[in-house]
Chain A
Amino acid sequence: MTLKFRNTGFRLFALLLLACSPGFSSTAQANSRTITLDSLTARPDPAVIRNAEGFYSLSFPVSDREKPLGAMLDLHLINSNALKANRSQLVVYLNGMVLGQIRLDPANNATMARFKIDDAFLRAGYNNLSFKVAQHYTDNECENWGAPELWTQLDLTRSSLTLEYEALPVRENLADLDRLINDRVGEFSLTLIRGHNQVSDDYLYWGSVIAQGIKSRLNYVPMHLAEYYQPPLDSKTADHFGIDPKQLNGDAIIVGTQSEIRHLLPEPVAAAVTGPYLGLFRQELSPDRFILVIAGRDASEVSRAVKAFALIGALAVDSRETVIRDLAYPLSPALAKPSVMFGHAYPLSALGFKTARLALDAPRAEWLFDLPADFYSTDDTTVGFNLDIAYSAAMRSDSSIQIRLNDVLVSSVQLRDESGAHYQNYRIDVPLRSFKPGQNRLTFDAVLTPLYAGECLLPQRNHLAAYLSDRSIVSFPEVAKVVSLPDLALQQATGFPWVDNATAQQSAFHLLDPSSDSIVALWSFIAELAAHRQTQILDLTIDQGSYQAGKHDVFIGKLTPSDAQQKLAGAPVVVDGWYQIASPHRQTHTPTLTGFFEWLERILFSPDALPQASTIRDDNALILQTANWGKHFVMTSYFKPDSEDKLALAILTSPGNDLTKGLEVLDRQLGALVAGDTVIWDSEGRLQATRYRDPKVIGHDNAKMTWIMHFSRHPWHWLAFIVVVLGLSSWLIHRVLSAYQKRHHA
């Protein structure tokens, strides 16, 4: 609704009233932020609503830390010029309530509409904004419901939502942690404050666990971390925190032993640290921000406290502060949840899928799941789905459910029975090689057509529905744990091999320099690894050392080539104190051995009958030179010297460059481009991926699958083996038979 004022006098009187009102003199400050609607969609699909009746919805968050005062929706749209104005409209709903409606005018078909949203319609959490159209091209029912003329497109890029809100003061209660740290807050910034000048290995460990604890609460929004050392302030008083507010860009966490951080804490708080301690406080100058204190009397208590922070759930502690007496968490089996293990079968309900109704208004069901990084199978291996599907009657037999894996169609279920059906055990098999390591998305898209449709019919669509039950079972076959490493793309997708499921026991993380951005980069990297596994990785080895025998090593930071020579021996990017650059110079094309039938067909019938697939390998030119990486960032992975199966990863930049920013750019913009064993990128989003050295295949647990993989990739070895074994056996058998014949039938 809009307010309209008739004359100036009345306006002045209204202003006077407002000025005297308690709300106006309140210390609460109103804020606003504007977001474009396309930032609320995960995928860049155009928002086109088709058919005589269509639907589009999206959700926008309202943070628990804000009190919404109202909102304004500016909606830009364009509709088909074939519509009938008297029968076409768009209705906007917010959380199920009608916000407004506009006529879809075929003549003036580009429309901008503004909807004022009262605060009563808004709620904390996710608010559903949906657009429903009714559009027709005839004046009666004799029309094709799905005619191509029937469309309306929402311009999500120009459409925006402006939210006015009041920042709420933080409630000093640990139970509010989940409300204070979540996706609805938006981009989350947090500063870790230490009270000791030296960066200790314990501090690095604490920060990595805290970063994981933060990241585990954020699924979609980026996390901005910072850290610094706060020396004692002269202006500190006993009842206040000794923190320089100019250093903070958001919420803060103070972490350290009691002795280290005493000068940062109010005396009562410092005195309350009688064990592993967690305490949530409001920032004095910014009451809508918090300070979380994680402390202990010694390092081990601080470690327990940070773990408790990472593990603590919602509504667990209804208090401002607590002291942890004991902490126990399972170490094995080292599986992240939800996990999939090969050789097992699972009901979909156990893997996070809920029974889905597929209908016109919600034709898609999606299931996200993670596969381990190091699986290998033959091309005949399949993942079996025993689907429990039901669909309604009176649907035309060309209705179907399209099943896509990572947006590629892999199977389809035709709903051919016009009287409806319930399949409790509908079997489909998807080749395992269609799946990828890490996250996979399986979508079920229903394409439903009513049995009776056409012009001049009143089509019935309310019954169009199919149900996919979470009782459906997915069976994963046995596979080998074999992988070709190093592979940065695999690492980006799964975190492998630095984390394997829910453990990082096989890895050691090392900080190369004690600058803040390097420390934060290290923590962010670890937090991303844990986010891949959707669990906290607490068995970290983290220090400022060098190679550890028997482990994979991750190095993050800045260093000079001479330092690199000592600490990163064997790294391909630094050799003998010189920087080494690989530049693709030539390519080696290795024709893949085609099958016998393919070869025969090509020879006999047509040289072009079948393309012969080749593997292409870059043969690089290697240049050793003195110029450092400057503003560039480098990530390189290689086999450690004198190790057959242990790798090292180095994320580096030159002194003076902000490594945290570099990692942010890589994660947000360039993740899909990462490949090979070395990538170099800059903060403007340019990236070069190279492979310095040939990968090696490593694997364990299943010798049989390793052999299968080897022979499948090297057919001539397979043939040679057969010839040798059978030939030798034949010769021996012949000799034995001859000797037998001589002995018994001389």
Chain B
Amino acid sequence: MSAIDFSKRRFAAIDLFPVAGALLTSLMIAALGLASLRVDSALQASTSALLVAVLFLMRQASGRDFVRVVFLLVSFFIAVRYFSWRVQFSLRYEGLPNFLAALLLFAAECHGFMMFTLTAFINIRPLQRRSEPLPHNRTLWPSVDIVIPTYDEPVELVKITMAAAAQIDYPRNKLRIYLLDDGATQAKLCSESMIVRQTALKRRKDFQALCAQMGMTYLSRSDNRRAKAGNLNAALAHIASELILVLDADHAPARDILLKTAGAFVADDRLFLVQTPHFFVNPDPVERNLSLFNRMPSESAMFYGAIQKGLDFWQASFFCGSAAVLRRKAIDDLGGFEGRSITEDSETALLLHARGWRSHYLMQPLVAGLNPETFTSFMTQRMRWAQGMVQNFIFHNPLLTRGLNWYQRLAYLSSMAFWFFPFARVIFLISPGFFLFFDMKIYNANFDELLTYTLPYLATTILMTHFLFGKVRWALVSEIYETLQSLFSIRAVWAVLRNPDQPTFKVTPKAETLDKVFISPLALPFYWTLALTAGAIIAGGVRWFHDPEHRELIAITLAWAAFNFFIVMSALGALLEQRQRRLTPRIPVKIGATWCRENAKGDVLHQWPVVIRDLSMGGSNVFTKQAIPPASNKAVDYLDVIDPSGQVERYRIKQVTRHTLNDGFSLGIKLCYTNLEEFSRIVRLIYGDSERWMNMQFVLGTDPGLLKTVAFVVRSGAAHGIHHFERLLKLTFGRNSYDTQV
């Protein structure tokens, strides 16, 4: 061995982490020291401008690891300089009311800064994981129990999920499927209410019949204690496989879900979880009401498309309740699914991480689910998440829970602390009014300081968000969603803080239909907020003329209030519920197929090439260049589709509508089924191909640029906000027209 080899080996053997850590700590201390120096204004202005320009130029290179680190570190430096100035120079006691208001605003900013820092940390090196292949020897494949917990979802909806689960590609002798019906517990069957008894009994009969048909096991229990966690724990006594695939009632799995996830458990025996993204085929209320669906990345794309990847790097990606495979042994190690909080999924994951178990996040959508249809349902879901995460923060504070690594603590802290955003959001909404209405000194700064410290910080937050999440979350979307949630979540979170054990699990209603356009009953607080904001703007306008020496500050606060006004208007636009009559959503596709017409004997009468444009259990839309006449009574139409394995699948169809286009014909068809087998094949056609979800995600996951995305969201939000008020005026002054879809 040469001397060089020896020294290299010796060098490699030295653990560099402590050395690097010490050096890095020193450098970070130096950086923090630099950040706290308040140099002259001109130097601060030029430095900030230069650093922001650097961020602006670097923002397109988010894929490069080193560039990412530089970007985030420069952003952090700007943020720390801002906060150093904020703490040292902008907080001043000028009377108790002013001070309290200033403290409120400062607390909200501290939350923002904390999230800024944690977000930068979490997303510094997102992990793009590939699926682990299963071994060639199938005898080594682990056994899997698929559990589908259900509570009050419609049978027709759950049937889809059951049919899709039954068609998962996996050895039958290693696969068992269980339906966990919490809607027909003994307690419900014996309820004093006849309606409850009858509903439960019917539900039980329907599901038992379905399970029998599909070869699944029907499980129920005596009561609904601990909601979903209790349901799952009750099932544990009846299931025994090595792995558990948990599917929500509306999460239809793709055929290859286990082929892509089970292999990781074979490769790593300390792995307790492979989580996959929740992919939704219908818009959430905000996307639908603001006409944003399929025009920009969905709201869940930011979490599943970026943040979970960051958490995965830090070994902190957590169980999201569905679309995940867990190791039975790990669950047993914990004594079952944890259910103290109402987000038992993340709670379970945290405790397992603390016991040294590992998790994976696979960024491939392998299930297709449904978003809540109404804003009320949406808020039910979000408040549960907020309350659950705050409960987790209280019961299992990540900073104090033993067994977690320091990076896991920060990762969980980030996930939990985020849910305190309602407080910050509300404070940001009302703060301009403190100054414009009451001339309260909530932010002690002159115009130069706002330009040299505050503005660069704001620009940095926008640029950093765009850098990290530009492809999965467009500008201003977060503001609209958070504002929508904040007025209700703040009460929910406050209730948890006062009594952490108080919240109860509320199931998110799914598959609702909306027959008419109407204003959400939850709009009232936003009217008040809008009125207050408008009043603040008017007060600012008056002060502009009467208080000329403060015009600069008034202008900045007015701009802030105007921004709030736009956001609240957009929120109101989202609260004008649009009509939605389909029980199952239409999924946009582009599949070549053949329309085949046969006679009663089975002879092919005619064939036409068509392109399937969308699919749903209720029907489909196809495009053809040739006119396809309606079938006679003696003829039967089929649609022949080549599936991913190359086989031709035939589906019986019926033409329902026909529209002539410039370049062809658009035909609405119904996919017909008379038995379970046909039903299942249709399910397989619609939900079985995971590549379809990947392509949809890829198409939407683009970044047209910051300015374009801002313009797009502004136009949408403003237009729908105005429509909301048009509707409101019509309702108020007597014309109750609900038919106009916007």
Contacts and interface: CB of A to CB of B under 8 A. Distances in A.
Contact of B125 (A715, A718, A727, A737): A737
Contacts of B47: 718-719, 722
A596 B50 contact: yes
B34 A708 contact: no
Given A596-B50, A729-B28, A736-B17, A722 B39 contact: no
Contacts of A595: 42-43, 45-46
Contact of A379 (B27, B40, B124): B40
Interface string B3-21: 0000000000000110011
Contacts of B43: 595, 711-712, 715, 718
A138 interface: no
A616 B94 CA distance: 44
A380 B38 contact: yes
A368 interface: no
Interface in A43-100: none
A367 interface: no
Interface string B35-75: 01111111101110111000000000000011001100110
A728 interface: yes
B313 interface: yes
A711 B125 contact: no
Nearest to B65: A734
A17 interface: no
Interface string A264-276: 0000000000000
Contacts of A425: 94
Contact of B37 (A594, A597, A711, A744): A711
Given A596-B49, A733-B69, A745 B24 contact: no
B20 A707 contact: no
Nearest to A379: B40
Contacts of B50: 596, 719
Nearest to A707: B37
Nearest to A592: B42
Given A730-B73, A737-B124, A744-B315, A725 B39 contact: no
A328 B28 CA distance: 53
Contacts of B656: none
Interface in A692-743: 704, 707-708, 711-712, 715, 718-719, 721-722, 725-739, 741
Contacts of A734: 65-66, 69
B17 A745 contact: no
B31 interface: yes
Contacts of A596: 45-46, 49-50
Contacts of A548: none
A712 B24 contact: no
Interface string A588-607: 00000011111000000000
B30 interface: yes
Nearest to B124: A737
Contact of A736 (B24, B31, B73, B313): B24
A728 B27 contact: yes
Nearest to B312: A745
A734 B23 CA distance: 13
B73 A711 contact: no
B449 interface: yes
A732 B23 contact: yes
B39 A735 contact: no
Given A735-B20, A737-B125, A738-B65, A378 B38 contact: yes
B21 A736 contact: yes
A725 B65 contact: no
Tell me the dominant secondary structure on chain A's binding face.
Answer: helix
Interface string A163-204: 000000000000000000000000000000000000000000
A731 B69 CA distance: 8
A732 B45 CA distance: 28
Contact of A729 (B21, B38, B73, B127): B73
Contacts of B46: 595-597, 715
Interface string B118-137: 00000011010100000000
Given A732-B23, A734-B66, A725 B127 contact: no
Tell me the dominant secondary structure on chain B's binding face.
Answer: helix
Contacts of B69: 730, 733-734, 737
Contacts of A380: 38, 40-41, 89, 448-449
A382 to B, nearest CB: 10
A598 B49 CA distance: 12
Given A380-B449, A595-B46, A735-B20, A721 B65 contact: no
Contacts of A745: 127, 129, 313
A744 B31 CA distance: 28
A728 B30 CA distance: 11
A88 to B, nearest CB: 42
B443 interface: no
Interface in B374-400: none
Contacts of B16: 739
A721 B42 contact: no
Contacts of B17: 736, 739
A732 B38 CA distance: 27
B77 interface: yes
A355 to B, nearest CB: 24
A737 B70 CA distance: 13
A58 B418 CA distance: 72
A741 to B, nearest CB: 7
A726 B39 contact: no
Contacts of A597: 45-46, 49
B77 A726 contact: yes
Given A719-B47, A732-B23, A704 B37 contact: yes
B705 to A, nearest CB: 24
A284 B34 CA distance: 74
Contacts of B31: 725-726, 729
A423 to B, nearest CB: 13
Given A726-B74, A741-B125, A733 B37 contact: no
B49 A708 contact: no
A704 B35 CA distance: 12
A711 B20 contact: no
Contacts of B23: 732
A721 B65 CA distance: 23
Interface string A388-402: 000000000000000
Contacts of A733: 24, 69, 73, 124
A524 B124 CA distance: 70
B49 A379 contact: no
A599 to B, nearest CB: 8
Given A379-B41, A597-B46, A734-B65, A729 B313 contact: no
Nearest to B49: A596
A732 B30 CA distance: 14
A725 B37 contact: no
A703 to B, nearest CB: 10
A708 B37 contact: yes
Nearest to A478: B88
A338 B27 CA distance: 45
A728 B37 CA distance: 20
B27 A725 contact: yes
Contact of B77 (A598, A722, A737): A722
B73 A378 contact: no
Contacts of A712: 39-40, 43
Contacts of B94: 425, 427
B125 A729 contact: no
Most buried by B among A598, A729, A734, A739: A729
Q: List the 6 shortest-distance A-B pairs measured between CB atoms, nearest first.
A: A596-B46, A595-B42, A712-B40, A729-B27, A730-B70, A595-B46
Given A732-B20, A741-B125, 13 more contacts: A378-B38, A378-B40, A427-B94, A596-B45, A596-B46, A715-B46, A722-B51, A726-B70, A729-B28, A732-B27, A733-B73, A734-B69, A741-B313
14 contacts: A597-B49, A708-B38, A712-B39, A712-B40, A715-B46, A718-B39, A718-B43, A726-B70, A729-B31, A732-B27, A733-B69, A733-B124, A734-B66, A745-B129
